[in-house]
A = this chain, B = another copy of it.
Amino acid sequence: MIIVLRPEATEEQVQHLLDKIEEAGLTPHLSRGIERTIIGLIGDERIVRNLPLEAFPGVETVMPILKPYKFASREFKKENTLIKIKDFVIGGNEIIIAAGPCSVEPGDVIFEIAHTLKKMGVKMLRGGAFKPRTSPYDFQGLGEEGLKLLAQASKDTGMAVITEVMDTRQVELVYKYADAFQIGARNVQNFNLLKEVGKTDKPVLLKRGMSTTIKEWLMSAEYIISEGNIKIILCERGIRTFETSTRNTLDITAVPVLKDETHLPVFVDPSHACGIWKYVDPLSKAAIVAGADGLIIEVHPRPESAFSDGAQSLKFSKFEKLMNDLRPIAQAIGRTI
């Protein structure tokens, strides 16, 4: 950590800082320049992260040198984390596609979807049983009934099931039925929920929040890892910006940045990123060439009557065309789908 002092900082203020740093068990290193005096901290700066050094009299700025996350960092673990689910691996050379409806609906729809997608090469079936909806008056999901339908569809097809968990009280239940947890954008800093899934041994797809920086997002992953679960898939799903022509703005650059910063696999959710079915196609392609390890896409046989997110869901035919288009692109970058 580097502490830059104001030009007018007094000797007394400097001494006070040096004392406090030593009290905390670190060694301060004072360096007087022409325009600024700076103090370098030798030792593990994480110790003093809670000291409000930037508010000490005489301090101009405080610059951390170490990254706040540790176990999630590429520095800690050089090689890619591979996550095995059923008969496939996430984070390897193969690009994994998860697809399915936004919400699990009553009846046979989920089976129709599962059987169709399975044939198209989809490895994971997505579908929400607990739905975070902006309005309390919108469909809130089927709950356990939905989980049961997903589990049955998984049994029938051999696909893995991924589904959202919204509440610490639901973790046990979702664990029982699903192969992987999904943590939604709105819960990316629901720290109690992160801890709870961190105590399990099932993979967690952690979506980025609408205004979460990459650093904060990795700190959320760190919460899960710190409880013992390293099977985390980071999923970029668009951030909130001033542009309103699409629901969110896909931060495509986050994909290569994450591949540098962390060993965890990276997915992209093109459906939520744009909110409009016709842009799912170009965004899926962009995600793959930018280095994503997988995609999670909303597909529905009859989007017009979907219980939620119909506007961004692909019909089977559109999705099949996309799968077919993705294969030569994956090949061009030396990967498979």
Residues of A within 8 A of B (CB): 2, 4, 7, 20, 29, 31, 33-36, 38, 40, 42-44, 46, 49-52, 54-56, 61, 63, 65-66, 68, 75, 132-139, 166-169, 186-187, 189-193, 195, 209-211, 213-216, 219, 222-223, 226-227, 239-246, 249-257, 260, 273-274, 276-279, 282-283, 285-291, 303-304, 306-313, 325, 328-329, 331-333
The docked-state distance in angstroms from the alpha carbon of A195 to that of B240 is: 25
The docked-state distance in angstroms from the alpha carbon of A137 to that of B167 is: 22
Q: Is the CB of B36 within 8 A of A283?
A: no
Q: Is the CB of A242 within 8 A of B241?
A: yes
Residue of B nearest to A285 (CB): B289
The docked-state distance in angstroms from the alpha carbon of A64 to that of B246 is: 17
Q: Which residues of B contact A52 (CB under 8 A)?
A: 303-304, 306, 309-313
Q: Which residues of B contact A252 (CB under 8 A)?
A: 250, 252, 282-283, 286
Q: Is the CB of A245 within 8 A of B279?
A: no
A192 and B167 contact, Cβ closer than 8 Å, known pairs A52-B306, A307-B50, A329-B289: yes
Residue of B nearest to A243 (CB): B213
Q: Which residues of B contact A241 (CB under 8 A)?
A: 239, 241-242, 249, 251
Residue of B nearest to A71 (CB): B136
Q: Which residues of B contact A240 (CB under 8 A)?
A: 211, 242
Q: Is the CB of A138 within 8 A of B50?
A: yes
Q: Is the CB of B251 within 8 A of A243?
A: yes
Q: From A219, A282, A312, name the one whose CB has the most chain B CB atoms within 10 angstroms.
A: A282
Given contacts A34-B42, A54-B311, 15 further A-B contacts (CB under 8 A): A2-B38, A4-B65, A20-B304, A35-B65, A52-B311, A55-B277, A167-B192, A168-B168, A211-B242, A239-B241, A241-B241, A249-B251, A250-B252, A256-B279, A285-B333
The docked-state distance in angstroms from the alpha carbon of A224 to that of B329 is: 37
Q: Which residues of B contact A136 (CB under 8 A)?
A: 191, 195, 219, 222-223, 226-227
A63 and B2 contact, Cβ closer than 8 Å, known pairs A213-B244, A214-B245, A245-B213: yes
Q: Which residues of B contact A65 (CB under 8 A)?
A: 4, 33, 35-36, 38, 61
Q: Is the CB of B211 within 8 A of A210?
A: yes
The docked-state distance in angstroms from the alpha carbon of A40 to that of B63 is: 13
The answer, among B61, B169, B253, for a CB contact under 8 Å with A249, is B253
Residue of B nearest to A56 (CB): B304
The docked-state distance in angstroms from the alpha carbon of A244 to that of B4 is: 17
Q: Is the CB of A133 within 8 A of B310?
A: no
- With both chains docked as a complex, state the minimum distance between the C-beta of A327 and any C-beta of chain B, in angstroms: 9
Q: Is the CB of A169 within 8 A of B166?
A: no
Q: From A54, A133, A210, A243, name the one whose CB has the most chain B CB atoms within 10 angstroms.
A: A243
